[in-house]
Amino acid sequence: MLRNSILSLALLLPATTGRATGSPTEDLRDSVSRWVDTMSRIQTEENDWKRDKEVLDDYREGLVEEIEDLEDRIAEAETRKQGADKETTDRTTDRDRYLAARKELAEGVIRLERQMHGSLPLFPPALRSEPKVAEAIEKLEADVKLAGEDKEKDLSKRLLNLITLTSEAEKFQQTVHIRPELHKDKSGREFNMQVIYFGMAMAYAVNEDGSLAFTGRPGSEGWLFEEKPELATEIRNLISAASGDSDAVFVQLPYAKP
């Protein structure tokens, strides 16, 4: 997978250029020590990614199962309603069952919409800016504000919208993305930045001349980018290697767990 190949050649690895050298034995010992540390960091990142993917998989599977169950119930109610004798008491009973199933489906949709809306701060800018995702978020923002009888309208469309957001988030989580973005420094000046996202867990950004750099991570209010000018060179090396503009190199960058 692209994610594994990029992590293998670029993430969390110590640069070797510019270091003072000792005897061959000392250099070898130092290289082996850094290699062991690097492999440990890669394994940690792999474990974190697998955990995040399992959460998304469980959420998606639960959503699909709940949708199928609720749709089966409402389909059964529809069938009973259509076949019922309009002149008998059974007609009223079936209608009540249909309305109850529809209400149950609506409650399930509303609950899932609230859960997804609460997860939106975890969506990085690069994911939120994708047209398909931006449109789905706009619909979700409108759906969570529905009141009264409107809460039970367009349930199928709203379910599909939730599936779209879940699917796009999972796809983004599975790989590395490099995107151009605008970011402001502490003084409010805006810069064109190259940003590399490692799924929905971490991001690194640097401007063209390497005078400004950021690290980014998700927070409860959205993604937060912190100035880290001392990391500019390493981030440029990382992005260059990840995009294929240069050979693979070892780089060392901080990783903050969410």
Cα distance between residue 153 and residue 145, in whole Å: 13
Mean pLDDT of 114-134: 94
- Given a cut of 90, whether residue 23 has pLDDT beyond it is no
User: Does the pLDDT of residue 36 top 90, yes or no?
Assistant: no
Give the rounded percent of residues in the chain with a pLDDT score beyond 90.
44
pLDDT tens digits for range 62-88: 777 877 877 888 787 777 666 655 556
* Structure confidence at residue 8 (pLDDT): 40
CA triple 64-3-133, angle to 5 deg: 45
Q: Is the pTM higher than 0.85? A: no
pLDDT of residue 13: 40
Position 10 scores a pLDDT of 39
pLDDT tens across 159-199, in order? 999 999 999 999 999 889 999 999 999 999 999 999 999 99
**Higher-scoring residue by pLDDT: 143, 28:** 143
pLDDT score for 4: 42
Mean pLDDT in the chain?
Answer: 81
pLDDT at 221 over 80: yes
CA dist., res. 13 & res. 220, Å (int): 29
pLDDT at 252 over 90: no
Sheet containing 176-184, strands listed edge to edge, beginning at the edge strand earlier in sequence: 176-184, 190-198, 202-207, 213-219, 222-227
- Residue 203 near residue 187 (C-beta atoms within 8 A): no
Query: Which of 244, 247, 254, 243 has the alpha carbon at shortest distance from 213?
Result: 254
